[in-house]
Amino acid sequence: MKKVVFWLARILAIAFIAFISLFALDVFGEPRWFLALIMHLIPSFILVTLTVLAWKRPFIGGICFITAGLVAVFFFHNAIFTPVIIIGVLFLIEFYLKRKKKLTS
């Protein structure tokens, strides 16, 4: 179970980053396409940073993912960032399972 949650959180995070990054591909018709591409990829850069943080420290990363998801949902009034909250919960479950195993050993 621990390995499933471990990899599920990471694979979902990477898949969601790839999905969000696809929306940046509509800028190639712009005159300053490179600057527009960087601007459209800012959410992806933030999520990559959170994924690296959560990979090393699941508790802190889980809290950050949940916070980022809630802020995005309330700020943009769009449910597209709801998977970010789910990914954060998966990282917290992984932390709990790892901690429980450590306490019982």
pLDDT per residue over 12-64, tens digit each?
999 999 999 999 998 888 889 999 999 999 999 999 999 999 999 999 999 99
Yes or no: say if 90 and 69 are a contact pair by the CB < 8 Å rule: no
pTM: 0.90
Confidence tier at 76 by pLDDT (50, 70, 90): confident
Q: What is the Cα–Cα distance from 60 to 63, expressed in whole angstroms?
A: 5
Domain that holds residue 62: 2-25+32-104
> What is the number of domains present in the chain?
1
H-state helical runs in 23-81: 33-40, 42-56, 58-76
pLDDT value of residue 105:
67
Cα angle 76, 79, 83 (rounded to 5 degrees) comes to 120
- For residues 51 and 38, is the Cβ–Cβ distance under 8 A? no
